[in-house]
């Protein structure tokens, strides 16, 4: 689906981006971190190697010139290096070239650990920060887009560290040294030609590259669009098959690729124009300098070796200049990509621990929703002053039509969001005053659709408590009534469940989820329509497991099928974000209100289905 990207990335419209200078300032501490002297030593040593490499590189043509003059007998006997044999000068020339390369490679070998450390720390910081961002942020983002931001940003750091430090900097040093040598050895006219040629070359390169950027940005947009469509289609593989839409998906993907193709063709054509223009400018400067040197040789002012040395220097600066357009574009690319990544890092976490937040102290696990008000959007309130008491060790069920706010209650308890009014308390402690880690440790959740990691069954169960022993994992599986099934598999607990657990049935996934939560052993359980997507028999089996799991715990059950919560200690009926009824199953039926009507309707539907 992905192609090696040659394009300048356009910032994701939903992701804030930092400016180039801000980005550079954010990267600098990774090159010169406080308290890590080994990093600073490596940076300094790499820069020393860089200077050695450039000094040797610039001095190399002198040996070439001396060898030519020696062979041609075209220099005064007292001239520097002329006392050496031609073969010795040629060997010195070869050693100098080798030395320049060796010091360059040594520089890279020294610096690579600094660069990789920076990449790792930045990637980890970004990954950790994304997990700290709120549910509100994640449900409005595309996972593929986030992964691309991290991927591009980390690659951008790698490129910037290597090319900014070891390409642009050395190029400037080398061009300055060559221009100064021309002025000293041959006269200011030579330096003027070199400076003017470089100035025209750089101006042309930057102007054309800026023009190409717009084309490349469009190409990247098409690349991102095609990639997103491909990922979306593959994630919905089963749906595509159900509706026989493989051809439709291929056509949709091809339309996106068609736009990429058009932009890519323009990019290739503009690259050809850039290369041709660069070749013309640098060749013109080379020819002018060589003509001047040839005239100097004919006039007896220069030797043949001088002529050769001028050519060698011009060719030497031509090679790095040829990559200037690519380096400039990639540096801009890197700054954009890193700007997106740092923009992501600047996104504030909506839910944070208060300074000095205390750990949750669970005595019995009593939960209270006290006049709770909440809205995902200020103009559309979801909960309107809901008060619910869940005594320690009891089971309470939340029922009501879709959109009544049932699932929102669960999200507020887990503090995916903060209430906009009222409070949620556990054993009298406002959950906004305690650490999120201690809150999450006290609550076990079994959702409607348990999502598993693409790893082994053992890993997925042990996710509830990673330090658990194998015996504890198997005990949790037995309690969830899935141990025997696991043993029947060829690889047992080492069986890989596939992406999102797709190799297991819905009931098997739910049992793994139950085992995972049992292993966590939390005092409070949140069952969010945990069996509504299952068949009747599987639902009955899992309900028995859930009842056993709820023994001695405070349980909040969000239910759609009323028959599953008839034995709850209290049933709360929500409608339009308000509590309209609450009581036991028998009391609510006797009352003949909303709950009784829902019960009668579901009973009629089940009888008709039967």
Average pLDDT estimate for 545-553:
77
Q: 109: closest CA among 36, 28, 38, 45?
A: 45
Most confident of 123-137, 220-234, 266-280, 574-588: 574-588
| pLDDT of 369 above 90 | yes
Full 3-state SS string of 545-587: HHHHHCCCCEEEEECCCHHHHCCCCEEEEEECCEEEEEECHHH
Please report the DSSP string for 444-496 in residue order. EEE-SS----SSBHHHHHHTTSTT--HHHHHHHHHHTT-HHHHHHSTTGGG-B
Please give the share of the chain, as a percent, with pLDDT higher than 90.
9
Q: How confident is the model at residue 2, as a pLDDT?
A: 39
Q: What is 367-609's CATH number?
A: 3.40.50.300
- pLDDT, tens only, 105-157: 898 888 888 878 877 887 787 777 776 665 666 555 555 556 666 777 777 77
Side-chain-side CA neighbours of residue 6 (13 Å): 14
Q: CB of 526 within 8 A of CB of 413?
A: yes
Nearest by Cα to 396 from 260, 582, 532:
582
| Average of per-residue pLDDT across 158-172 | 71
Distance of CA 466 to the CA centre of its chain: 25
Q: What pLDDT, on the 0 to 100 scale, is given for residue 11?
A: 40
Q: What is the pLDDT of residues 563-609, one digit of tens each?
A: 888 888 999 999 888 999 999 999 999 998 888 998 888 888 777 76
What's the whole-number average pLDDT of the chain? 80
According to DSSP, residue 344 is labeled H
Q: How many CB atoms lie within 10 A of CB 532?
A: 14
pLDDT the model gives residue 134: 58
pTM for the model: 0.62
Per DSSP, 388 falls in state E
Q: Evaluate if residue 22 carries a pLDDT over 70.
A: no
Q: Which CATH superfamily is domain 20-345 in?
A: ABC transporter type 1, transmembrane domain (1.20.1560.10)
If phi over 0 gives left and psi between -120 and 50 gives alpha, with beta otherwise, what is residue 445?
beta
Delimit the CATH 1.20.1560.10 region(s) of the chain: 20-345
Q: Is the pLDDT of residue 83 over 70?
A: no
**Residues of CATH 3.40.50.300 domain(s) within the chain?**
367-609
């Amino acid at each position: 689906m992905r192609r090696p990207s040659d394009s300048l990335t356009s910032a994701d419209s939903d992701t804030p981006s930092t400016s180039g200078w801000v980005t550079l300032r954010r990267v600098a501490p990774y090159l010169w971190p406080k308290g890590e002297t080994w990093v600073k030593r490596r940076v300094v040593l790499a820069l020393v190697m860089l200077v050695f490499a450039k000094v040797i590189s610039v001095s190399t043509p002198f040996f070439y010139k001396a060898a030519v003059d020696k062979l041609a007998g075209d220099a005064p006997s007292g001239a520097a290096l002329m006392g050496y044999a031609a073969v010795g000068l040629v060997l010195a020339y070869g050693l100098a070239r080798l030395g320049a390369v060796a010091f360059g490679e040594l520089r890279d070998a020294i610096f690579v650990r600094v660069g990789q450390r920076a990449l790792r720390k930045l990637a980890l910081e970004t990954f950790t920060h994304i997990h700290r961002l709120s549910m509100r942020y994640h449900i409005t983002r595309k996972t593929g887009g986030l992964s691309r931001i991290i991927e591009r940003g980390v690659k951008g750091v790698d490129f910037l560290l290597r090319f900014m430090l070891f390409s642009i900097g050395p190029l400037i040093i080398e061009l300055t040294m060559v221009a100064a040598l021309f002025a000293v050895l041959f006269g200011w006219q030579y330096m003027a030609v070199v400076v003017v040629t470089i100035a025209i070359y750089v101006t042309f390169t930057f102007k054309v590259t800026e023009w190409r950027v717009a084309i490349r940005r469009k190409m990247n947009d098409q690349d991102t669009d095609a990639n997103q469509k491909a990922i979306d289609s593959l994630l919905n593989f089963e749906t595509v098959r159900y509706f026989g839409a493989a051809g439709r998906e291929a056509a949709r993907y091809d339309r996106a690729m068609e736009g990429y193709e058009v932009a890519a063709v323009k990019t290739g054509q503009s690259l050809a124009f850039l290369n041709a223009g660069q070749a013309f400018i640098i060749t013109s400067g080379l020819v002018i300098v060589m003509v001047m040197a040839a005239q100097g040789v004919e006039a007896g002012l220069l030797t043949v070796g001088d002529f050769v040395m001028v050519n060698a220097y011009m060719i030497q600066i031509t090679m790095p200049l040829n990559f200037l357009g690519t380096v400039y574009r990639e540096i801009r690319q890197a700054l954009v990509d890193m700007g997106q990544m740092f923009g992501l890092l600047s996104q504030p976490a909506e839910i944070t621990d208060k300074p000095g937040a205390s750990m949750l102290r669970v005595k019995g696990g009593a939960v209270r929703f006290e006049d709770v008000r909440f809205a995902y959007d200020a103009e559309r309130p979801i909960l309107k002053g809901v008060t619910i008491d869940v005594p320690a060790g009891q089971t309470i069920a939340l029922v009501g039509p879709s959109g009544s706010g049932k699932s929102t209650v669960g999200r507020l308890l887990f503090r995916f969001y903060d209430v906009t009014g009222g409070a949620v308390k556990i054993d009298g402690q406002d959950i906004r005053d305690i650490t999120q880690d201690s809150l999450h440790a006290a609550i076990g959740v079994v959702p409607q659709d348990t999502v598993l990691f693409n790893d082994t069954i053992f890993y997925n169960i042990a996710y509830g408590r990673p330090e658990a022993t194998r015996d504890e994992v198997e005990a949790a599986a037995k309690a969830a009534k899935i141990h025997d099934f696991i043993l029947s598999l060829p690889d047992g607990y080492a069986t890989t469940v596939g992406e999102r657990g797709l190799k297991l049935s819905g009931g098997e996934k739910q049992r793994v989820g139950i085992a995972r939560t049992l292993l966590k052993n939390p005092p409070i359980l949140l069952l969010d329509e945990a069996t509504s997507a299952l068949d009747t028999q599987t639902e009955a089996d899992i309900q028995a497991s859930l009842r056993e799991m709820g023994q001695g715990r405070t349980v909040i059950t969000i239910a759609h099928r009323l028959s599953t919560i008839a034995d709850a200690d209290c049933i709360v009926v929500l409608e339009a974000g308000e509590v309209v009824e609450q009581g036991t199953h028998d009391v609510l039926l006797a009352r003949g209100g909303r709950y009784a009507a829902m019960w009668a309707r579901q009973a009629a539907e089940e009888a008709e289905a039967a």
